[in-house]
Structure 1
Amino acid sequence: MPDAPLENLYLRTSSESQARADKVLPNVGSEDASHILGDWKPDSEPKDYDRDEYLPEPAVEWGIDVEFPANKSIDAKRLASQFGETFREKFGSCSLYGRDSQSGFWTFLVSADGPEEVTGLKIAYDYNQTWKPDFRPAFESEYEARLSAVAELAVEYIGDCNTTPSKSPAEAAKHAKTLTGLSEKYDRTAAIHLVAEKGKHFEGRDIWDVMQCLGLQWGDMDCFHWVNEGGAGDDYFFSVETSTPPGYFLPEQIAAGQLQTGDLIFICSVPRTCQPVEVIRRMDKAVRYCQRRLGGSVHYTLGESELLMPVLLENVEQIASDLAELGFEPGTGPALRMF
């Protein structure tokens, strides 16, 4: 039915989504404003999608290293079975890593293309799990119990092993406690709101055009994104959504003239973004471009607090500095794991 543009929508791959948008809307803006954001990448190590080794992350995981006897190799699946449901119910959920007997590289003990036999083992426990509101950091006695249990299993199923923790149980419990509340304190979202004038709104087709002009990509969650092309940090430098229901931008609605919003919200996760101050500066330039094209007023927030732009940048810079001092520099592996 022509009056029901949202009928028959379903989950699609990124390429399918882009093809779907291309069918109903232009994929090139009315002008090229991509210079506003520029061809910028953070001054940090890029993501390594093709790395050879996978190991526990010391900033967020307590590890137990099990050193096998010389020339000893163990079937990976058989070894993993010793750390199954019963073990995890008693000592907590853990991640397992093995050193591939063929390549010599560390990787996940069990995975689709994992090793058949391993010559070393590492067990890792999260110090904290910020995604679980009822999570409690382990006590020293619990770390001691984990270490003893792993040592006993190692002797029984592997042989005469050296079992070494990354931190002593006392140090691990202390470190876990320091991470408690870290998410509540530092997991902040910086946002720049472009709000339509009272009694007015932004038309869907105009929104689509300015986003195309800036070089933003429509896709994930039906929102617009400044894509991080292989740089360090999160997949997107920032995203654009709206508080007007449904909160996102469906091409079919825009093409049918059925989408008008009261605002555009440009958002950026401070801990998950490399060089968040620079990203927010560029995000502000993008918002100012949209304001020139669409009108409206600009407002800055950090979490629930509305701030002036200089104060926002000052606060973000302080958060980034604090996190770096704690070992969670924004956009790095530890920060992405923690937040």
Structure 2
Amino acid sequence: MKFILLLFLSTLIACKSSNKGEQMDSEYTISTASESEQRAKSVLPLEGKEDVSKILTLEFKSPKISSESEDKEYFANEKFDWILTMESQNGTYFNRDSVSKYFDAKWRENHQYPWLYCIPRGDSKWTYLSSSENRSNEFSRVALAWKLYDPLEDPPSVYEDRTLKKYKESVSQIAIKLKSDTVSENFTIEQATRKSKELSDFISNNNHYSVIILKAESEFEGKEIWDVMMSLGLKWGDMDLFHWNNDFEYGDDQLMSVWTSTSPGYFFPEEIAAGKVKTNDLVFGFSIPRSISPIQVLEVMNKATEYTQSRLGGRILNENGQPFDIEEEKDKINEVVSDLKNHSIIPGVGDALYLFQ
């Protein structure tokens, strides 16, 4: 039943913003939490027949992480991105129009869509060149950054020497046109290609979801699903799924989500209200590396699945369609967490959120 997870991941990827600036699929819309709530409230009750929201209780110690300065800068990740930086010469500055002309949409498309950063004149901090808050037209430095492995790419890019060499040659030629003879890099081409391959293996080995499937004996009816989700205290919203939203300082936006393998994989409240929704299963899941407290979330998710089973019936299975064993699932989680920590990465924080999307 791993196709269930793949279905969800494809839905998730379609909804996430991309550095390509591509339009999202027309089936999806971006709504605020209040807009989603009003949409659902117009056709269905937001309170269930029961109140078992106490099931969704999570207690854990926050990790010891230094707080970010409010005056932070916005720049690439120097550990996982290949960064080429151009510096202006002899007290001159790069002009926005010239930079935008040479690194235009066509150039970025032909060079795997790097992010563009700059240090505005009179400032010392990096920011996005295209940021609406960046009103400067002159820059002392301009940088381009390629994420050396991006799981949202299809297929993910694993860079070869010849590709990065071509990119650097192109940037160097443009730098000359912009009257800069200095292009520095955080990794040599050889280091960057090696890092790209290492990240490919590391992310592929650890980009796992913890999943519990409630398989229907026949079918689950939409209005009953809705009532159970509301009774649990889950919220309908992003990606048209049910979520246990994360109110903690760290971790993914959602602690847990609920979807289905039944097409289209998500839930429209209008169709549920009209009696048009029936599903073969409900899938409870979350990203392990993006979770701030994956073992505790699993334990809560298991209780939520058991409650749902008590209301709707069905069989509780793992992602392979076998009877679910929480201890086996904990072993899977601990393996991922251990590998992250061996690489000095804390689940649900900083680098984990950057690498696993």
Match of 2:128 among 101, 108, 114: 108
- Deviations, residues 194-253 of structure 1 (Å, cap 9, x unaligned): 233x35x44433322221222210122322111123633332121112234443333233
Are 1:25 and 2:44 matched, yes or no? yes
Larger radius of gyration between Structure 1 and Structure 2? 1
Match of residue 234 from structure 1: 252
Q: 1:138 to 1:263 in 2, by over 3 A?
A: closer
Match of 1:125 among 143, 146, 149: 146
Q: Report the RMSD for the aligned CA atoms in angstroms.
A: 3.4
- Cα distance in structure 2, aligned partners of 1:90 and 1:202: 47
- Deviations, residues 4-53 of structure 1 (Å, cap 9, x unaligned): xxxxx9957343432222122221233332221126578356998x7742
Q: 1:146 to 1:25 in 2, by over 3 A?
A: closer
Q: Count the aligned residue pairs.
A: 327
Structure 1 residue 188: deviation in Å?
2.0
Matches within 5 A, 1:97-246: 97-114=117-134, 115-134=136-155, 136-159=157-180, 161=182, 163-196=183-216, 198-199=217-218, 201-229=219-247, 231-246=249-264
Match of 1:43 among 59, 62, 68: 62
Identity %: 32
Match of residue 331 from structure 1: 348
Contiguous gaps of at least 5 residues in structure 1: 1-8
Are 1:63 and 2:80 matched, yes or no? no
Matches within 5 A, 1:292-311: 292-301=310-319, 308-311=325-328
Structure 1 residue 298: deviation in Å?
1.8
Give 1:179's aligned amino acid: L
**Preserved CA contact (<8 Å) 1:42 1:275:** no
Give 1:332's aligned amino acid: V
- Deviations, residues 117-167 of structure 1 (Å, cap 9, x unaligned): 212222212212333445553333443454454345435424464x33111
Match of 2:115 among 85, 88, 95: 95
Query: Which sits farther off after the overlay, 126-135 or 213-222?
Result: 126-135
Give 2:56's aligned amino acid: L
Structure 1 residue 314: deviation in Å?
0.8
- Cα distance in structure 2, aligned partners of 1:159 and 1:167: 20
Match of residue 94 from structure 2: 74
Match of 2:283 among 265, 275, 297: 265
TM normalised by structure 1 equals 0.80
- Cα distance in structure 2, aligned partners of 1:18 and 1:182: 38
